[in-house]
Amino acid sequence: MAETPPTAPASLDAQPNRFIFPRWANLLLPFIIVMAVGGGLYATLIVGLGFSPQATDVGYMPEQPVPYSHELHAGKLGIDCRYCHTTVEDAAFAASPPTQTCMNCHTNVNVANPGNIQKIKESWNTGMPVQWVKVHDLPDYVFFNHSAHVNKGVGCATCHGQVDQMPTVYQAKELSMSWCLTCHREPEKFLRPRDQVTNMKWSAKDHPMFADQPDIAESVAQLELGKKLKVEYQVRDTQYMQSCSTCHR
Amino acid sequence: MSSQPTTTSSAAPRGRRRIKPPFWLVSILIILVIASWIPLAVIARARVSKSPLPRIQLIQDMDRQPVYKTQQTSPVFSDGRAMRMPIAGTVGRGDLRGSDNYVMGYTLDDKGQPQWAVDFPQEITVDDALLQRGRQRYDIYCLPCHGADGIGDGPVNQRAVELRGSWIPAANLVDAAIRERPAGHLFNTISRGIRSMPPYGEQLPHLRDRWAIVAYVRALQVSHDAPINLLPAKLKQRAQADQARQKTGN
């Protein structure tokens, strides 16, 4: 390369470097490239993690008007879910129990803190319902039906988590469309015998079918049992299960 | 590369020279990198923790439509229910379909006195399916108080007795007195309750389910003093072994 002598026009000599980029400006190009790539990755990370239902929906645990505990009633006292949510097997909606159901026992149970059930007694005396806050709530354009699931052997725990260990109910699963579809595509990974749907401690490998295979893996047992139940309960084909009009009608 | 000195102070070869970015640029960079962890930390927390704050709805779509759904509240009515209660005394269509014995468990005689149905009404055939159904319904609605085998030691009853107060212990269903109750009386106890036992008609809307429970209660009663030679072979062996052990005194 031919060298040019370091001579500059006279006008620049007066204020040296005024209009010349400083040397560190050379760093800007790599810097911008790194920022563009890194920023893009970063934005993807934020949107992927932050906008997912795991972050926005799961863990919603509203405060209820009465400190009613599933851990106590369904867990410790072992009351079956259907004792209170009587409609799950017959209807789309799983009704919250009326005050009458609580009063079956609470007219006479001598609880430690009567203040906690004061609202129930008031409701019983005045006829005004207790206003429970809804925890699980799909958008109104989605059609959901409890009886369709419960009668084909999908357990409460699969969709609501370990309710019997929740002092206050919270949303344990995403309830997003992709979540529904993971099961609708492969229901055999989740099905259980119909008479076990409300059992919170059920596991496939305890099924009598595997009595002679004590150390079978849970996932293997589930798949084998699920395939059998899928035929037995005549679960509909994948095409129907993932067609838009099944859930959006 | 030329060996001629340049105007800048450094004498090192050009390729190896370190360029020092200005302080402000470095600080901005460091602040940015640190700040970028804040949203990540917030998200991580949102993903693992529980919160009473309403769910975050990024896109509203038609998520909430102006319709009343089951069990919602409405400001229109003074009790806040959007669903209205039936007027007192209303009988739903189909609720009274069947004989009096099937629907109520009794018939009224000329003097207006109830005559209990002694046996199951003609609408019900007692078979294995009915008993299985009865067992399942019993385990849901009766077991908490009356216990799995009907002797009144259900988990709720046990706990409530421990807590004392005005709790009346649940009756022993295999007791001689209850054995002698007509089937219709048991049915009526389920539908309408008795003394301090609450009614279960609301929770057991299907009449067949109530009769199924009656059948299962009868089965429990039989099972409590079934003669040993009525048992299936396997259970019989176990029962005989138990008896033998009891006789030898341990």
Q: DSSP string spanning A156-216?
A: HHHHH--GGG-SS----S---HHHHHHHHH-GGGT---GGGTT-TT--GGGSGGGTT-TT-
The residue among B54 and A175 whose pLDDT is bigger is A175
Q: What is the mean pLDDT of residues B226-244?
A: 82
Q: Mean pLDDT for chain A?
A: 86
Q: List A residues 170-209 in contact with B (Cβ-Cβ < 8 A).
A: 170, 195
> pLDDT class for A144, splitting at 50, 70, 90?
very high
pLDDT, mean of residues B49-58: 82
Chain B nearest C-alpha distance from A60 (Å)? 5
Mean pLDDT on A199-211: 86
Q: Which of B52, B71, B202 sits opposite A96 (nearest CB)?
A: B71
**A49 contact residues in B (CB cutoff 8 A):** 40, 43-44, 47
What would the two tokens of residue A1 be?
A: 């390369």
What is the pTM assigned to this prediction? 0.86
How much is the pLDDT for B174? 86
CA distance B157 to chain A (A): 9
What's the rounded Cα separation, in Å, for the pair A230 and B148? 31
The residue among B58, B55, B61, B81 whose CA lies nearest residue B70 is B81
Looking at per-residue confidence, does A14 or A34 come out higher? Answer: A34
Question: ipTM for the complex?
Answer: 0.77
Q: Per-residue pLDDT for B243 more than 60?
A: yes
pLDDT of B34 higher than 90: yes
pLDDT class for A115, splitting at 50, 70, 90? confident
Give the containing element (helix H, strand E) for A113: none
Question: What distance separates the 2 farthest-apart alpha carbons in chain B?
Answer: 131
Higher-confidence residue of B94 and B141: namely B141
A 221-240 → B contacts, CB under 8 A: none
In chain A, the percentage of residues whose pLDDT exceeds 90 is 37
Rounded to a whole number of angstroms, the distance from the CA of A124 to the nearest CA of chain B is 13
Question: What pLDDT, in 10s, does the model give residues B144-178?
Answer: 989 888 888 888 888 888 887 778 888 888 888 88
Q: Do the Cβ atoms of A155 and A191 come closer than 8 Å?
A: no
Compare A143 and B228 and report the one with higher pLDDT: A143
pLDDT for the residue A5: 54
The values of phi and psi at residue B7, to 5°, are -75, -25
Share of chain A above pLDDT 70, in %: 93
∠ at Cα A214 (A212, A215), nearest 5°?
A: 135
pLDDT category of residue B250 using cuts at 50, 70 and 90: low
Is the Cβ of A23 closer than 8 Å to some Cβ of chain B?
A: yes
Q: Is A24 on the interface with B (CB under 8 A)?
A: yes
Q: Does A109 touch chain B (CB under 8 A)?
A: yes
Check if A220 contacts B (Cβ < 8 Å): no
Of B4, B156, B164, the CB nearest to A110: B164
Interface of A with B in 30-69 (CB under 8 A): 42, 45-46, 49-51, 54-63
Does the pLDDT at position B8 exceed 90?
no
Which residue in the set B36, B46, B160 is minimally distant from A109, CB to CB?
B160
Chain A hits for B36, Cβ within 8 Å:
42
- Is the CB of A77 less than 8 angstroms away from the CB of B144? yes
Identity of the residue in B2, B36, B140 whose CB atom sits nearest the CB atom of A42: B36
Q: How many CB atoms lie within 10 A of CB B183?
A: 22
